[in-house]
Amino acid sequence: MIEQRIQQLRQQLQKANYAYYVLDNPIMEDAVYDQLYRELDTLEKENTHLITSDSPTQRVGDKPASQFVSLAHNIPLYSLENAFNLENLQAWQKRWQRYSEKENIESAEYVCELKIDGSALALTYENGLLIRGVTRGDGTTGEDITQNVRTIRSIPLKLNLENPPPIIEVRGEAFLPLDEFDRINQQREENGEALFANPRNAAAGTLRQLDPKIVDQRRLQFFAYTLHLETTDINSQWESLNYLQNSGFLVNTHRKLCPSLEEVADYFQQWETERKDLPYMTDGVVVKINDYSLQKVLGFTQKFPRWAIALKYPAEEAPTIVKDIIVNVGRTGAVTPMAVMEPVHLAGTTVQKATLHNSDRIKQLDIRVGDTVIIRKAGEIIPEVVRVLDDLRPPNTQLYQMPSHCPECDSTLKRPPNEAVTRCMNLSCGAILRGSLVHWASRDALDIRGLGEKIVILLINNGLVNSLADLYDLTPEKIANLERMGSKSANNLIEAIEGSKKQPFSRVLYGLGIRYVGSVTAGLLAENFPSMEQLSQASFSDLSSVYGVGEEIAQSIIDWFSIEKNCDLIQQLEKVGLQLEATKSKTPTVDSPLTPFAGKTFVITGTLPSLKRNEAKALIMEAGGKVTSSVSKRTDYLLLGENPGSKLTQAEKLGITQLSEAEFLTLVKK
């Protein structure tokens, strides 16, 4: 009976994963999935002899790899010849026609697929089970990263085929969705870590993490696009893509079968604009001859297949001049160099600053004040310096050296072992205190309205605040005479500070700014350790065993509580009345009138008339719904404010219900 129950649970969870990650059509509520997963996990731990590699519980390995092993590809991963305009595309067609000695053929059927900006992988399945995942490497040899590949939910551990062939090789692209890229970079910024320059670099760096738990937390996705079978009735690329989708893979829905090169050109031009509304990065279109028999005739050059080409979109770049190189000190002490440039218009915005990440990047670029540089928005998101134009360098420029002392407190800067970031280690540094206070008052933390950076600086400079706890000793009389502050503003600020005492434990935990503990992680910790006392006494094993926490975060929490000043701060916050314990509340059932949005997914776009975005998000979550950052078929409602972005266009295409703030509030109150 136990073995039968385990099989049933695996099948249910595999179906749910396929529906969610491949079909984009969930068949199971998250809470139900979590309950079934926990039941399966418990049964397998009690009956370890029944655990198999294709079980949903076995996606994430427990032990980090010590290194990656190089493996030779059974079939080489060729790169693609690039075309940069439609003339290049026409020339490619003429070349393959001449080579095939069929110049009388005006065209052939082509398959067009969006070129995903990620990292190529080669997957091997034996009898339907995933046994190996290897990076592209140099095309002949790659690295075995099977542990990491298994964490990607859109890669099936077991093929959705009744009688799978003995061996199948699948090629595709691992990538990071834009909302996930934003989330990771936001968390890295909060933790004082260098930001990823673009989603492609973030995906590549993630795949090479030795700890699969970190890979799992970053939620990579995978589009399959190539199939290799020894014996098959599949005769075309189009048939291969359909076979891959039916096997359980995520295949890009925007693929198109084009009967002529003219339609290929139309497809390319269509997506040059529309790609900006996609939830992932794409930098071009891959064009393949559909017919496998013609592919076989054409074969390969030493570098490329003759039957395929990548038609690339031009990257928007612009030259500008570096006026200065400065450093910013963040709340974790991270010292980040920044290029200050002559303003330049790029991808719809005016850019004046670009992060230089760290001293290694500065050394690599050899960037100097006065240099003319080429900048672009990496992934059309973050301004980055691509290269320096050495020929335009003015005479007598000086090599830039990172400062040896903190520009805020004059403490000696240090670069910890195995880190690329230089840090100020002085916990009393004004910049660290300033950043900590601003973070404490931020919307997702204690949400103290009126306590922005300028007021924080005034409070510090006037000696009124030297720690987070000092905020709660302020009175209207103490601050009313400060610059920018009258009696009314003073009263409002003190009321906001007093109101922050009602914020839940998870927000207090996030507000403390413990390294690697973002708002989501703070929520997980509050669920598993419902008081500050329990959290402070939790062991490394207790912490790292929480799904979504992992070893790096666990060690960071232990390190934070090992500092005496931090423990003193907790005692002070407890005395002034902060919530250091999670409140127990009865969770409404799905049928409860308190959950009108049970199981519903929202996306918010634009500026709402009266609600702040985090207030609207809180109302949705309290009513049983959830909020995501990108529109998809799974989205039920678009909450629409003024000046909406591209999410509105995407929602209209998918026919998603739009709600004004008034309509939304009416539904909430029902």
Residue listed under structure tokens 């790292």: 544
Q: 110: annotated binding-site residue? A: no
Q: 424: annotated binding-site residue? A: yes
Q: 80: annotated binding-site residue? A: yes
Q: Output helix, strand, coil percentages for the chain, rounded to the nearest 5.
A: 40, 20, 40
| Catalytic-role residue among 45, 115, 414, 454 | 115
Residue listed under structure tokens 């990172």: 402
- Answer for the pair 642, 623: CB distance below 8 angstroms, yes or no: no
- Within 8 A by CB and 6+ apart from 133, the residues are 121, 122, 123, 124, 144, 145, 146, 148, 149, 150, 155
Q: What is the DSSP string of 171-222?
A: EEEEE--HHHHHHHHHHHHHTTPPPPSSHHHHHHHHHT-S-HHHHHHTT-EE
Cα–Cα distance, 444 to 508 (Å, whole number) = 10
617 annotated active-site: no
CA 488 vs CA 10, 471, 479, 484: distances in Å: 61, 18, 11, 11
378: β partners: 382
Give the SS3 label for residue 144.
strand
Cα–Cα distance, 527 to 347 (Å, whole number) = 42
Q: 230: annotated binding-site residue? A: no
Q: 33: annotated binding-site residue? A: yes
Q: 79: annotated binding-site residue? A: yes
Q: 642: annotated binding-site residue? A: no
Give the SS3 label for residue 574.
helix
What are the DSSP E strand ranges found in 421-470?
422-424
Q: 113: annotated binding-site residue? A: yes
Residue listed under structure tokens 């046994």: 131
Q: What is the DSSP string of 263-299?
A: HHHHHHHHHHHHGGGSSS-EEEEEEEESBHHHHHHH-
- Answer for the pair 126, 346: CB distance below 8 angstroms, yes or no: no
Q: What is the DSSP string of 437-482?
A: HHHHHSTTTT--TT--HHHHHHHHHTTS-SSGGGGGG--HHHHTTS
Helix (H) or strand (E) holding 344: strand 334-346
Q: Please give the structure tokens belonging to residue 300.
A: 């390969």
Q: 406: annotated binding-site residue? A: yes
Q: 233: annotated binding-site residue? A: no
Give the CA radius of gyration of the chain: 28
∠ CA 537-541-543, rounded to 5° = 60
- Answer for the pair 242, 232: CB distance below 8 angstroms, yes or no: no
Q: How many CA atoms lie within 13 A of 36 on its CB side?
A: 21
Q: How many CA atoms lie within 13 A of 124 on its CB side?
A: 17
Task: Output DSSP code: residue 501.
Answer: G
Residue from 432, 421, 575, 439 nearest 518 by CA = 439
Q: 594: annotated binding-site residue? A: no
Q: Please give the structure tokens belonging to residue 247.
A: 């096997």
Q: 535: annotated binding-site residue? A: no
- Answer for the pair 168, 227: CB distance below 8 angstroms, yes or no: yes
Annotated binding site for Zn(2+): 406, 409, 424, 429
Please report, in range form, the residues annotated as the binding site.
Answer: 30-34, 79-80, 113, 136, 173, 288, 312, 406, 409, 424, 429
Catalytically active residues, by annotation: 115
Which positions make up the binding site for NAD(+)?
30-34, 79-80, 113, 136, 173, 288, 312
